[in-house]
Amino acid sequence: MSRDEIIDITNRFLIEEFEVEPDVIQPDADLKESLDLDSLDYVDLVVLIESNFGIKLESKDFTNVNTFDNLYDLIGSKIHAIA
């Protein structure tokens, strides 16, 4: 799966599930702040990622995820690890 496909799929479910405007999602924008995430939202985010991409995530995977770009990188690395 290409990075563009990962970005497209991810942005689609973020816009729908977290009810944000598409222009809020910028590669260098702060993920938590942009989506107004609390701890329960992170659980929802993990479930959405796992169901959309067929990967497994752990809390430690999010240690260095601060921006949307970091999130795309995480998803891409997990996808390529199982490929």
Per-residue pLDDT tens digits for 24-79: 999 999 999 999 999 899 899 999 999 999 999 998 999 999 999 999 999 999 99
What pLDDT score was predicted for residue 53?
Answer: 97
pLDDT tier for residue 83 given thresholds of 50, 70 and 90: low
Q: Which domains does the chain have, with CATH numbers?
A: 3-82 (1.10.1200.10)
- CA dist 53 and 78 (Å) reads 9
Which residue matches tokens 């702060």? 30
Q: What angle do CA 78, 9, 19 make, to 5 degrees?
A: 115
Residue 12 carries which side chain, given as an amino acid letter?
A: R
Global confidence as pTM: 0.93
